[in-house]
Structures are given as C-alpha cells and as structure tokens.
A and B are shown apart, each in its own frame.
Chain A
Amino acid sequence: MRSLAELQTAMTQAIMAGSFVDVEGEFTAGNADPGRRYAIYRNNMFLSLAAHLRTVFPVTARLGDERFFAYAAHQFILREPPRSARLVVYGAAFPRFLSRFPACRHAPILAQMAALEWAVHSSLTSAQRPFLETKDMAAISAGQGLELQPSLHFVLSRWPVLGLWAHQAERQQALPRKTCRIAVIRHDDDIRFFELSTARFAFWRDLVRRRSLEEAATRALARDAQFNLADELVFLFSNRLVTGLIPIQPDKGQVQ
C-alpha cells in the first residue's frame, strides 16, 4: 500500500495528466465509477483556475475570444500550475506564456494586453503608503534616491494597449503598431495610468531600481536632452508617487 505522501503525489499527477487508471483503485464511490468521480476534482481545478485567470485578464479574454481564452488558460494551467495557495500571485507568467504560445502568433497584442492587465492586478494588490508632499522636496540631498509607491508598475508595449483597455474592446481592431510606455499605480480603490515619454520611463524605472537621482537623471538625459530634473521631481511629488527619500550606495545602485 502506498504511503499517504505517495498517494497524494499519485492523485496530483492523475489530475494533471487527466488519467485516473493509476489511482482509481484507491477510491470508492458508491455505485458510480470511481475514476469518473475523481475526474470531478480535475474539472474543479481547471475551471476554477481558468475563472481566476479570466477575472485577472478580462480584456485579454474578450480580445482573443472566450473559447480561445479557455483553451489558452487550460494550456497555461497544465504547463505552469500554481505552486501555492496564494492565488493572488497566480497569473504572473501568463503574459509571457501568451507571447510564446504558438496559437497566439497571429495576435501578439494579446500578450501585451495581458501584461497591462497583470500590472493593473499587481497594483490593486499592492500596499499604498503615505506619500511625501511637494514641500518635502527641499530635504533632497546629493546621493539620494526616491522611494516610489510600491503599487507602481511598468508596461512597455509595442501596441497601443492602453486605449484598447480603456475601451474594453470587444474585438480586436486593426491597430497601427505604436510603442507605448505605461505606468500603473493604485490610488485607493482606483487605478491611475501614466503614458510616459522615453526619458521619463527610464527615469522612473531607474528610481524603482534604487539608482540615485543623479544617475537616473543622467540616463534620462541620454534619451532626451530636454529632460528637466526639477520638473520631473515636481511631477512625481505632486502626483503622490514619492513615499520616501533614501540614501543610495553607489555599488548597490547597479544591482538591478
């Protein structure tokens, strides 16, 4: 007789494989077929996880057609099943999965829409910290960086996904390719979006990566000679994005 550990492994493998021959002898089910009864658990798992993905990626599901989304979700669950009961983090790999999924080759925008929706989901499930006021800018000194709201997430897309998301598109439209850089942030119960210039996108992302203001500004200037640090700081503080001033060790600034 198998140990309980072996039994649970075999039951899990049967669910993932969709074949119950190896375990059905373990079960009783009254007058019913034990294997068919056990299949209910597989059905529950796949349906509930697909429902979770549909909740996190509603516009992606509509863009790609519900039946296609169900198929993609099923394949994703098979290849990348959740590893913990914390379902709030399940789906992080879905955009990358779609970008490599052969059936999505004709619609690369699906993966990028999924990336935007994952950013929205991540923002909504991030903490919201007290923010610094514009007057606090006076305390900034050399060698410091800025700590930004933890709900700030970035999306770099080759398609204008933000407009599509905002209109909750029912079907895919013929869209011109257009690279867009998007920042997503939670504001209480709402989500705010910023479409960023190349320089601002680089600046914000460097701050999140804990680079000093000087280094982040230098890199932004390399992308746009008109980049103005003072204006950018006012923009960040006035939009309640800054939660702290932090000292940056030069070496640590290169870590990420």
Chain B
Amino acid sequence: MPTKTPRSPLPPVAGIGLRGPHLAQILKQRPSAGWLEVHAENYMHASPATAALEQVRKNYTLSIHGVGLSLGSAQGVDSSHLARLKALCDRFQPAMVSEHLAWCIGDGIYLNDLMPLPHDEEALAIVCRNIDQAQEAIGRRILIENLSSYVGFARSTMAEPEFLGEIARRTGCGLLLDINNVYVSARNLGFDAEAYIAGLPGESIEEIHLAGHASNDTTDGPVLIDNHGSAVAPAVWSLYRSALERFGTRPTLIEWDSDIPPLETLLGEAMWADLLAETVADASRTVLPFLPPSRSKSAKVALCDHHPNRTNQQKERAHA
C-alpha cells in the first residue's frame, strides 16, 4: 500500500532537468512540463542563462538541485558556497531545494564528482551537522538524494536506506530517491534494489529522479556508470513502478546531462513517467487491491506494453 503522501511543494507530476541547449526553446515555446529543475552551481553567477531563468520561473515551478555543497565533508560546508546557494534561493524562490548524500571537497580540492560516504555513526553525525547548518542558512528544508556508487566501505555499520532514514529523522530533511542511482549501485555493489527501496522511509520521500546510465565492460565484468546520457533504462522504469506501488505518486524528474537530446525526447520521457504513475495510481485505487499476487504480477507486465523499450525490459530485469 502506498505510504502517506507528503505534502510536496512540487506538483505531483513529472518534470525535466532544464539544460542550456533547451533554454531558448523553453522560453519561446513554453512546452508543457510539470516543473523544471536546475543545477544550483550553473546559476550562481551572472550570465545570459541566469537572466533567462528569471523569465523561465514566471511560467514554471522551479526546483534547485545542488551538486557542490559537499554535505558529507568532514571539514564542514563551505560557508561562501552556502551563502551563494541562499542568494540563489532568495532570488528564484524555488519550490524545492535538494542536494546529495556525498562529499566533493577533500584536502582543499574540489573533485567535481559525488564521492561516497561510509555509513557509520561518525559519518551520520557529520552529515546531520552539515544538513542542519545548510537548512538553517538557507531557511528551508532540503531533500537529500542517494548516490550511485562504484565502491562501498568495509567500515559501514548500516545499510544506506537505514542511514538515509536516520538522517531524515535527525534533521527533518526530506529524501530524494534517485531510482537510477539505486539500480546502478545495486548492480555495481551486488545488493537487491527492491529491498533497498523497501527499506526507505516512504513518508520522507518527496521527489524521485529517473535517468539513464551506461554500461562499461571491465576486467572485473560490466560496471554501470551513472552518466545521465541516455533514456531511462527499462529496468529502472520497472523499479520506478515498484516504488510508485509502494510509496504512491511523487514529483518525478527526468535527468539528462550528457549527449543531451532534443527537448521533445525529455518531454516524452516525462510523459511516460506520468503515464506510469497514473496507471499505478488507478490500479491501486481500483483493481490491484482485489487481485491475488499472481494476477497482480500479470498486471505489471501489461503496464510494460506502454513502454517503447519493452523488448529489453525482461532482459534488464534479469540482471537486476
């Protein structure tokens, strides 16, 4: 059964990540997108894009998604970066602000990647301290997103869902569930993606991310790379459906950051996300509660008929 739906300031539909190549088209054509998310660090300085965002926000609900706050940094959060984030929020008044369960500055060097954290008491205390500081500084709750990981830590004493749940409980922040990241990490580190999602506190999840990934062959076997450079994989759609059935509809974002396709492709992915959410919601309201588990399973297969990549879906699920 879906968990109690939190009151998200974002509309409960699919939005898209706003990327530079689409800015002019969005301004000119005003396509129907549920909402738009921008990367905070791209708008912390004056530029034509920052000026254009003033126009964009008149027509769309905005979410600001940070990648550089380094909330997992033991050295603490860069106060000047935090001040820039606050100024950005004050200027654009986004409906939502989110960041990652990650660190990206170590030894004074910005690594330009989202680095993983061990899941132990020391890291938990540090992350909570930094989130408290960030929420206090910008004067609003934030959402924390799970990472895609290529390594885990031998010292970890708790699973990531438990770690995230504890962060939400201690700081009052919400969670942003990136389902592609769950899938990528599960494949890379060998855990059960469904069990991961089941372990999350559904009432804290206020947003979902969907994106594509790449698969690289290595001497250790295939490794999935979270490159946001392709359509959402069938197996990730399947996990998304599973999350919808468990948690109910959530504002969902289609992210695409490399090899950026035409805007219509992103909007098409967002449409699939909306269709899937509506179908799952309808099913939970009408048919599914009365079906035995075996019938319920066949209903899932029927849903897949709506997706253009259905032929690959079973294959991908076999790997999940």
Task: Give the A interface residue count (CB, 8 A).
Answer: 48
Whether the pair A11, B115 counts as a contact (CB closer than 8 A) is yes
Q: How far is the CB of B245 from chain A (nearest CB, A)?
A: 28
Whether the pair A34, B151 counts as a contact (CB closer than 8 A) is yes
Across chains A and B, which 6 residue pairs bring their CB atoms closest together, nearest first? A85-B68, A12-B106, A32-B220, A30-B190, A5-B74, A127-B46
* Known pairs A4-B122, A29-B189, A31-B220; A15 contacts B151 (CB<8 A): no
Instruction: Using CB atoms and an 8 Å cutoff, list the residues of chain B in contact with chain A.
Output: 41, 44-48, 51, 67-70, 73-75, 78, 80-81, 84, 103-113, 115, 117-118, 122-123, 126, 150-155, 188-190, 218-221, 223, 225
**Is A137 interfacial (CB-CB < 8 Å)?**
no
Q: How far is the CB of A35 from chain B (nearest CB, A)?
A: 9
Closest to B117 in A: A4
Closest to B111 in A: A45
Using Cβ atoms and an 8 Å threshold, which residues of chain B touch A13? 107
* Pick from A8, A38, A86: contact of B151, CB under 8 Å: A38
Closest to B151 in A: A27
* Known pairs A16-B109, A85-B105; A189 contacts B48 (CB<8 A): yes
Q: A12-B111, A88-B44, A88-B45 are in contact. List 4 more A-B contacts (CB 8 A).
A: A12-B109, A29-B150, A86-B44, A86-B81
Whether the pair B109, A85 counts as a contact (CB closer than 8 A) is no
Using Cβ atoms and an 8 Å threshold, which residues of chain B touch A30? 188-190
**Is A28 interfacial (CB-CB < 8 Å)?**
yes
Whether the pair A28, B152 counts as a contact (CB closer than 8 A) is yes
Using Cβ atoms and an 8 Å threshold, which residues of chain A touch B110? 81-85, 87
**Is A192 interfacial (CB-CB < 8 Å)?**
no
Q: For B44, B73, B123, B220, which residue has the most chain A Cβ atoms within 10 angstroms?
A: B220
With A and B bound together, what is the CA distance between A124 and B67 in angstroms? 22
With A and B bound together, what is the CA distance between A81 and B111 in angstroms? 8
Whether the pair B118, A4 counts as a contact (CB closer than 8 A) is yes
Using Cβ atoms and an 8 Å threshold, which residues of chain B touch A128? 46, 51
* Known pairs A26-B154, A27-B151, A84-B78; A125 contacts B46 (CB<8 A): yes
**Is A113 interfacial (CB-CB < 8 Å)?**
no
With A and B bound together, what is the CA distance between A30 and B105 in angstroms? 26
**Is A37 interfacial (CB-CB < 8 Å)?**
yes
* Known pairs A4-B126, A28-B152; A36 contacts B220 (CB<8 A): yes
**Is A7 interfacial (CB-CB < 8 Å)?**
yes
Closest to B85 in A: A85
Whether the pair B48, A32 counts as a contact (CB closer than 8 A) is no
**Is A9 interfacial (CB-CB < 8 Å)?**
yes
Whether the pair A85, B47 counts as a contact (CB closer than 8 A) is no
Whether the pair A86, B112 counts as a contact (CB closer than 8 A) is no
Closest to A15 in B: B111
Instruction: Using CB atoms and an 8 Å cutoff, list the residues of chain A in contact with chain B.
Output: 1, 3-5, 7-9, 11-13, 15-16, 25-34, 36-38, 40-41, 44-45, 48-49, 52, 81-88, 124-128, 186, 188-189
With A and B bound together, what is the CA distance between A128 and B189 in angstroms? 49
Using Cβ atoms and an 8 Å threshold, which residues of chain A touch B68? 84-86
Using Cβ atoms and an 8 Å threshold, which residues of chain A touch B118? 4, 7, 26
Q: List 30 A-B contacts (CB under 8 A).
A: A4-B117, A4-B122, A5-B74, A8-B74, A8-B75, A8-B107, A8-B115, A11-B106, A12-B107, A27-B153, A28-B151, A28-B152, A29-B220, A30-B188, A30-B189, A32-B221, A32-B223, A44-B113, A45-B111, A45-B112, A48-B112, A84-B105, A85-B67, A85-B68, A85-B105, A86-B68, A86-B81, A86-B84, A124-B48, A128-B46
Whether the pair A9, B188 counts as a contact (CB closer than 8 A) is no
Whether the pair A8, B112 counts as a contact (CB closer than 8 A) is no
With A and B bound together, what is the CA distance between A173 and B251 in angstroms? 54
* Pick from B51, B109, B126, B155: contact of A1, CB under 8 Å: B155
With A and B bound together, what is the CA distance between A11 and B220 in angstroms? 21
Using Cβ atoms and an 8 Å threshold, which residues of chain B touch A9? 106-107
Whether the pair B111, A29 counts as a contact (CB closer than 8 A) is no
Closest to B106 in A: A12
Q: How far is the CB of A15 from chain B (nearest CB, A)?
A: 6
